[in-house]
Chain A
């Protein structure tokens, strides 16, 4: 049941499209309603980063499986200027744009897994994952 959706991000209105698509896809796994909101919020932040800092890129949404766990992966990819200081960008309150400077660290808090790759002049790729919670003890 591996499904994949690609949303091109160029305009601010694409942010809404991306999070709606993401929520729809995530509904295939029975995430709780609050987890669905969490996922949609994270997508919104990632898409916003692309619009604000790179001018354009794409969000790839897919359902994933690993060690019997199911989840959703969100890949945010752009060919923008890249991030100079990753450590700084991951700090709360740091922003060079118009948000609250919570975008990246906040997104990390929202999701289970967070990976970021960035190269100056080439672009940034962020991969986040949310796993469906097992009934663990």
Chain B
């Protein structure tokens, strides 16, 4: 619309920007209280203490105005990440977070309507300046919130992953370690640690390590498997490896892994039978 005349030069634009910033600063208390009144009425602040509400709302208000003034969003990003990390956002639902910022956006917007209702050109320019800033802030907050959620999900996945490699006791002195899915070195290390501690805790003499569920190995993982076998032996336990697919066997040979060091049996059942024979001998002979 016809704001070309009004925004003739950059200077005027920055003057006007300053006018907006001053407007928001001058009316801070009124607008902030209005914001809190509306969000409280909508039940968006349910999880926060009055003190948190006060300090957080002042900071959020000032940070937003700061973004408008400087055109830089670093402070908003830092603050949003901090909120997320501190768990302030975590206790709130997505609806509450977005709702809070949408409300704040409306409040800023309405105050502009009120101020410039008799000057359409100015109102339109004010919205042109203000809206992109409001949108950017909103997306920064949403992103921080989502990133935090993703982090939590990752931690949970980690926990599930640990659970998904159980060390099972089949009978006295006999442990079974079914390895499923692709092993990365981090998980492989975890697995070895778990197994070694389990050997000690259960006083195991034989471990059946079944890798039927492992589609492929690289040299690092192959080395890790061998290390696991060797470390188990140092604790006095024999490892019987089962379910080595022809592809993996081929890889191991290509990688120069000494297969004679691995006590291998074709399938899991055969492995368990062999383990029981080893236990029956009551011996350490290989």
A: which residues have CB within 8 A of B?
32, 34, 133, 135-137
Contact = CB atoms under 8 A, between A and B. Distances in A.
Contacts of B189: 34
Given A34-B189, A34-B193, 8 more contacts: A32-B193, A133-B186, A135-B154, A135-B155, A135-B158, A136-B186, A137-B154, A137-B157
A34 B158 CA distance: 19
Contacts of B158: 135
A137 B157 CA distance: 8
Interface residues of B, number: 7
B261 to A, nearest CB: 15
A56 B161 CA distance: 47
A21 B193 CA distance: 24
Contacts of A135: 154-155, 158
A137 B247 CA distance: 26
Contacts of B186: 133, 136
Nearest to A137: B154
A116 B129 CA distance: 58
Interface string B168-197: 000000000000000000100100010000
Nearest to B227: A109
Contacts of B193: 32, 34
A62 B201 CA distance: 34
Nearest to A135: B158
Contacts of A133: 186
A34 B189 CA distance: 10
A137 to B, nearest CB: 6
B13 to A, nearest CB: 39
A41 to B, nearest CB: 13
A113 to B, nearest CB: 15
**Would you list the 9 A-B pairs with minimal beta carbon distance, nearest first?**
A34-B193, A135-B158, A133-B186, A137-B154, A135-B155, A136-B186, A135-B154, A32-B193, A137-B157
A59 B246 CA distance: 47
10 contacts: A32-B193, A34-B189, A34-B193, A133-B186, A135-B154, A135-B155, A135-B158, A136-B186, A137-B154, A137-B157
A32 B196 CA distance: 14
A32 B155 CA distance: 17
Interface in B27-68: none
A135 B154 CA distance: 8
Nearest to B155: A135
A4 B155 CA distance: 32
